[in-house]
Amino acid sequence: MTNVFVATCDLAGQTRGRAVPASREDAALRGSTGWVPADLALTCFGPIAENPFGSTGDLRLLPDPGTRVDVPADGDVPGTRLYLAGQALPDGTPWECCPRGFLSAAVAELAGLGLTPVASFEHEFTLDGLPSSLPFSFDRYRTAEPFGSDLVALLESNGFAPESWLPEYGEAQHEITLAPAGALQAADRAVLLRELVRDLARRRGLRACFAPILHPDGSGNGVHIHVSFEGGKLADPDRPGGLSRAGAAFSAGILRHAAAITAVTAPSPVSFLRLTPHRWSAGGVFLAERNREALLRICPGSPAEFNLEFRAADATANPWLALGVLLRAGLEGIRRGYEPPRVWPESVTEAELAGVPPLPKSQAEALDALEADDVVRGFFPADLITTYLSVKRAELAALDGLDDAECCRRIADVY
């Protein structure tokens, strides 16, 4: 190992940072790595969007030692060590616009109610460079070797607790799932997982792509976010859907603010091409038992395994913001005592669901919903929400005039 990379994840869902010599690792852990406020306004295509910071200000990247990931040397490619960092002012005070801090604050607020959130992110992605194969097939599983076994070994060696590695439905699509963990650790793992997958794929002569959809007529790559509370506090088998009172109110908060939330969880110009009925993504804003068209799906199991699955997310989102906004919306439902939502049974028909609210039809519509939702907008410090909206609208403007297929290609080139 010659270098250490200290990283954050920005509003475009990109992992960015600075490398320091391994000999300076201790200094980096003490916060010696500088950063710039305007870096928060980098779009996924590279240019900096309009922002409140301009050319002024200084920050420090403060690595969390618990996020350390070691990537071993591989042939001519040297090994490296990664840390994820919070962003702080030069005096060590946390910066209010730090995305990781946004999630940490949401976790702390839930802790004040005696609730400890647990989460897991399921990632779908495509692997280009492999022979054509059938969905879910043993053939696809084997033709991905040695990438698959190497990925599982890399994740296990870094304590990520992978649960399954599988061939998925879409062309060249695969999925990796990790065991549930505390909310911050789960989101940290989501940030790092994407980079570990891409890095390993490059070293195996492949290309991993996490774009939400590669062609308007194709299958999409989702990120399903599973949420529960420690101690089985989400579950109550005697109540509708098996949800506790807190769990029902938590669900109500997410559903009530769904349109604004999706501007954060599905934030690319092509994300909403995937979020349409009959794609097994999210066909409407409703809560249901074991229904993969639901925005929120109740996943059965013992009280410890029982969880809610949020299905309108993808890997263009910053995991800290995506999970943070879900937790804050759920917290809002608990605090304000939102009316428990209807729990649709597994047997519900498409005709019965005809009246459920739809998701936004586009990123522009979702961003307008975010700006208009005083509650969700209020979750964010003023400079953070201003910069977020600016970045996302700049990304939309960069694709203005292109057809859907070309937009998909441009986003796939980035993610």
Q: What is the pLDDT of residue 341?
A: 95
Establish whether domains 3-95 and 104-414 are of one fold: no
Q: Is the pLDDT of residue 218 over 90?
A: no
What's the chain's average pLDDT? 96
Residue matched to tokens 């852990």: 29
Q: Are residues 226 and 299 in contact, defined by beta-carbon separation less than 8 angstroms?
A: yes
pLDDT digits 0-9 by tens, 21-71: 999 999 999 999 999 999 999 999 999 999 999 999 999 999 999 999 999
- Percentage of the chain surpassing pLDDT 90? 92
For residues 352-364, average pLDDT: 93
pLDDT for 1 beyond 70: no
pLDDT of 402 reads 97
Over residues 388-413, mean pLDDT: 97
φ and ψ at 299, to 5 degrees?
-100, 120
Task: Give phi and psi for 258, each to the nearest 5.
Answer: -60, -45
Provide the pLDDT confidence category of residue 348 given band limits of 50, 70 and 90.
confident
Q: Is the dihedral of CA 411, 281, 186, 258 positive or negative?
A: positive
Q: Is the pLDDT of residue 140 over 80?
A: yes
| Locus of tokens 């509003």 | 11
pLDDT digits 0-9 by tens, 175-198:
999 999 999 999 999 999 999 999
H/E run at residue 166: strand 162-167
Question: Is 90 exceeded by the pLDDT of residue 2?
Answer: no
Nearest to 30 by CA among 92, 93, 94: 92
CB 305 within 8 A of CB 362: no
**Residues near 138 by beta carbon (within 8 Å), at least 6 away in sequence:** 167
Q: Would you list the DSSP string of 308-366?
A: EEE-S--TTS-HHHHHHHHHHHHHHHHHHTPPPPPEE-TT--TTTTTTSPPPPSSHHHH
pLDDT, tens only, 88-132: 999 999 999 999 999 999 999 999 999 999 999 999 999 999 999
User: Is residue 278 pLDDT above 80, yes or no?
Assistant: no
Mapping DSSP to helix (H, G, I), strand (E, B) and coil, where does residue 18 land? strand
pLDDT for res 291: 86
The pTM score is 0.96
Q: Which helix (H) or strand (E) holds 254?
A: helix 245-256
* Interval 325-341 mean pLDDT: 97
Sign (positive or negative) of CA dihedral 316, 127, 123, 350: positive
- Answer for the pair 241, 289: CB distance below 8 angstroms, yes or no: yes
CATH code: domain 104-414 is 3.30.590.10
Q: Where are the domains of the chain?
A: 3-95, 104-414
Instruction: Return the ∠ at Cα 413 (arms to 59 and 36), rounded to 5°.
Output: 10
Closest CA to 41 of 15, 10, 14, 64: 10
Mean pLDDT check: name the lowest of 116-120, 219-223, 249-253, 257-261: 219-223
Helices marked H in 77-213? 99-111, 138-143, 147-157, 183-203
What is the rounded distance in angstroms from the CA atom of residue 324 to the CA atom of residue 377?
A: 13
Task: Give the per-residue pLDDT at 290.
Answer: 85
Cβ atoms 123, 223 nearer than 8 A? yes
Inter-residue contact 56 to 39 (CB < 8 Å): no
Q: Which of 249, 305, 259 is nearest to 282 (CA)?
A: 259
For 3-95, the fitting CATH number among 3.40.50.920, 3.20.20.150, 3.10.20.70, 3.40.50.2300 is: 3.10.20.70
